[in-house]
């Protein structure tokens, strides 16, 4: 997780006139955790990042720097000048925008078009990694389609657990509580396509232009952010 992505999350929160404490209460995490994510001091788990981006109306492309509106750069293996154009037919693997998350989870955004309906990802789970370090099942808008191409991955979907190996595929409505975990000793990797989450996020309203974040300061962190906005 880079400071640029943290800044994107903070900007989206401010647009919706949400204090750290309010946002934390809405997604079930601490305000201090969100503050550390926004400043790039810590990396969120997959479940926390999904909760934040879903509530704030951000797509995976926004987080990985493929949004013309956000113009935010994520951590990648090569120079940002080598990124493939948004409308390029072919995107080479070395150019994949990459996001490293807590607990050994890695997202690589695959070739896509600006405004497309699909969010394609190459997802890697290191041994012992899971989508939630807290053991909580996540849920978000959209439909999830995936195929495991390497290793073994465990999917917990509501009250069932499925063991997936290379060649196995899955699909489900992502509003169903779910969690992924790699209980093995080797890397697990798969290709994911999330459909419909971006469109749902685009329907989320932004705060009125006259609204002010922090009109009621409930913490020292809120006060510091208010000072930042005044000085910026």
Cα 167-110-158 angle, rounded to 5 deg: 55
pLDDT band at 65 (very low <50, low <70, confident <90, very high): low
Residue 88 has pLDDT above 60, yes or no: yes
pLDDT band at 83 (very low <50, low <70, confident <90, very high): very low
Specify the DSSP class assigned to residue 95. Answer: G
Write the burial class of residue 122 (CB in 10 Å: 0-12 exposed, 13-18 middle, 19+ buried). middle
User: What pLDDT is attached to residue 3?
Assistant: 67
Write the burial class of residue 111 (CB in 10 Å: 0-12 exposed, 13-18 middle, 19+ buried). middle
Which of 12, 72, 73, 9 minimizes the C-alpha distance to 204?
A: 12
Residue 71 has pLDDT above 50, yes or no: no
pLDDT tens digits, one per residue of 139-154: 888 899 999 999 999 9
- Give the residue-averaged pLDDT of 170-175: 94
User: What pLDDT is attached to residue 209?
Assistant: 36
As a whole-number percent, the residues of the chain with pLDDT over 70 amount to 71
pTM value is: 0.62
Cα 37-117-154 angle, rounded to 5 deg: 60
pLDDT tens digits, one per residue of 93-126: 998 888 888 778 999 989 887 766 788 999 999 9
pLDDT tens digits, one per residue of 182-228: 999 999 999 999 887 654 444 444 433 333 333 333 333 333 333 33
pLDDT band at 2 (very low <50, low <70, confident <90, very high): low
Which uninterrupted H or E stretch holds 226?
A: helix 220-231
> Which domains, from first to last, does the chain contain?
3-231 (2.60.120.10)
């Amino acid at each position: 997780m880079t400071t640029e992505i943290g800044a994107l999350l903070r900007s989206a929160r401010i647009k919706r006139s949400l204090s750290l404490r309010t946002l934390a209460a809405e997604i079930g995490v601490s305000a201090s955790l969100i503050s550390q994510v926004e400043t790039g001091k810590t990396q969120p788990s997959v479940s926390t990042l999904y909760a934040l981006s879903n509530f704030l109306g951000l797509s995976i492309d926004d987080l990985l720097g493929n949004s013309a509106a956000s113009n935010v750069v994520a951590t990648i293996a090569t120079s940002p000048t080598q990124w493939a154009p948004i409308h390029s037919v072919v995107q080479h693997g070395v150019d994949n925008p990459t996001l490293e998350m807590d607990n050994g989870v890695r997202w690589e955004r695959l070739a896509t078009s600006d405004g497309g309906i699909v969010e394609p990802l190459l997802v890697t789970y290191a041994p012992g990694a899971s989508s939630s370090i807290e053991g909580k099942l996540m849920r978000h808008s959209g439909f999830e389609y995936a195929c495991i191409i390497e290793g073994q991955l465990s999917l917990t979907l509501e009250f069932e657990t499925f063991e997936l190996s290379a060649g196995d595929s899955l699909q489900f409505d992502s509003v169903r509580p779910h969690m992924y975990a790699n209980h093995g000793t080797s890397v697990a990797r798969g290709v994911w396509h999330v459909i419909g989450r971006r469109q749902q996020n685009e329907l989320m309203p932004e705060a009125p232009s006259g609204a002010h974040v922090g009109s009621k300061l409930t913490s020292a962190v809120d006060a510091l952010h208010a000072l930042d906005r005044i000085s910026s």
